[in-house]
């Protein structure tokens, strides 16, 4: 499948087949606007695909993967904000967050049930979760959320999403290599404001840290084609491991609150210690884009 289109002889966009349908391909000299168009196209395709899966199937992955795609979208809208019209960006972001929150109730219920022993998955509990799934589908249909991704791409295609002032046009024309370095530096600085010791953060603060790290990872993945593979890949696995531990901590905390438990279990403590150690090591290293 071709994941990039040429927008002119010297556009800097490379046309090439790819087995990875989720990786737009561009070079450092492509404009930030052209990169944004490819990134949003990929994300909106994912939203359409996974939201359809949620609407048509009871598979747990539908709600989860739609939420991942929506979070990637809000990361893109936030990171590329200098290119965008403020009002149009806010409308798109607010709608994405609304869908994200609606699906979040289903996702939390799925995670809770998955963590229960088989005997604890009572018919009443399963019925309650099925009812929640049906109600969420009804809300999505009523709010016409199924057409959200198509509306967003239409607003990008017509130029409604893009800023028209001089600063916005300058950002749109900026080489994406330069834009990416600035965006990653800003996102990384946000992550570092949480400090180096995760064990001393409250659950709410740790949740905010997790969200900031997730946004940082998505941003890094958007711009992965810009960096030598070795520079990025050596960080990617460790970053993913840290994200997995943070996700596990969040799921365990949600399940604990839902069940009414007050104590922190052994698995949660071990996961927190592992994440704390990984973050201390990771945050002390120079980042891959700084070497370029």
Q: Which CATH architecture has domain 31-173?
A: Up-down Bundle (1.20)
CATH 1.20.120-classified regions of the chain: 31-173, 175-292
Greater confidence, 118 or 7?
118
In whole angstroms, give the CA distance from residue 54 to residue 65: 9
* pLDDT of 49 strictly over 80: yes
**By percentage, how much of the chain surpasses pLDDT 70?**
89
Q: Does the pLDDT value for residue 158 go beyond 60? A: yes
pLDDT of residue 79: 96
Q: Which of 56, 58, 49, 41 is nearest to 7 (CA)?
A: 41
Task: Note the pLDDT tens digit of each residue in 228-250.
Answer: 766 677 788 888 889 899 988 88
Q: What is residue 76's predicted lDDT score, i.e. its pLDDT?
A: 98
Burial (CB count within 10 angstroms: exposed 0-12, middle 13-18, buried 19+), residue 285: exposed
CB-based contacts of 249-257 (< 8 A; 24+ apart in sequence): 249/206, 249/210, 249/275, 250/207, 250/210, 251/111, 251/115, 252/115, 253/203, 253/207, 254/108, 254/111, 254/112, 255/111, 255/112, 255/115
| CATH classification code of 175-292 | 1.20.120
Task: Specify the pLDDT at position 15.
Answer: 30
Task: Band the pLDDT of 255: cuts 50, 70, 90.
Answer: confident
pLDDT, position 187: 94
pLDDT for 216 beyond 90: yes
Report the candidate in 38, 63, 60, 41 with the shortest Cα–Cα distance to residue 50.
63
The confidence score (pLDDT) of residue 174 equals 97
Please give the average per-residue pLDDT across 209-228, as a whole number.
89
pLDDT of residue 95: 97
What mean pLDDT comes out for the span 73-78? 98
Q: What's residue 231's pLDDT?
A: 65
Higher-confidence position of 123 and 292: 123
∠ Cα 16 182 178 (to 5°)? 45
285 pLDDT above the threshold of 90: no
111 confidence band (pLDDT: 50, 70, 90): confident
Enumerate helices (H) and strands (E) in the chain, giving the number of each.
10, 0
């Amino acid at each position: 499948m071709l994941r990039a289109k040429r927008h002119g002889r010297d556009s800097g966009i490379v046309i090439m087949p790819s087995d990875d349908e989720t990786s737009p391909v561009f070079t450092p000299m492509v404009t930030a606007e052209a990169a944004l168009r490819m990134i949003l196209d990929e994300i909106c395709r994912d939203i359409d695909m996974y939201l359809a899966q949620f609407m048509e199937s009871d598979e747990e992955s539908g709600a989860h993967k739609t939420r991942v795609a929506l979070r990637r979208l809000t990361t893109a809208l936030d990171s590329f904000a200098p290119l965008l019209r403020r009002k149009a960006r806010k409308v798109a972001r607010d709608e994405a967050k609304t869908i994200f929150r609606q699906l979040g109730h289903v996702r939390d219920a799925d995670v809770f049930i998955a963590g229960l022993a088989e005997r604890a998955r009572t018919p009443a509990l399963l019925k309650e979760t099925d009812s929640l799934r049906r109600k969420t589908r009804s809300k999505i249909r009523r709010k016409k959320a199924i057409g959200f991704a198509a509306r967003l791409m239409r607003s990008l295609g017509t130029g409604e999403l893009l800023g028209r002032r001089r600063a916005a046009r300058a950002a749109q024309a900026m080489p994406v290599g330069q834009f990416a370095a600035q965006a990653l530096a800003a996102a990384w600085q946000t992550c570092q404001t949480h400090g180096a010791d995760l064990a001393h953060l409250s659950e709410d603060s740790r949740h905010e840290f997790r969200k900031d790290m997730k946004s940082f990872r998505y941003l890094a993945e958007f711009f992965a084609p810009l960096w030598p593979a070795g520079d990025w890949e050596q960080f990617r696995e460790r970053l993913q491991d840290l994200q997995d531990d943070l996700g596990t901590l969040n799921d365990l905390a949600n399940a604990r609150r839902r069940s009414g438990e007050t104590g922190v279990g052994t698995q949660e403590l071990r996961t927190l210690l592992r994440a704390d150690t990984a973050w201390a090591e990771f945050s002390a290293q120079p980042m891959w884009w700084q070497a370029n």
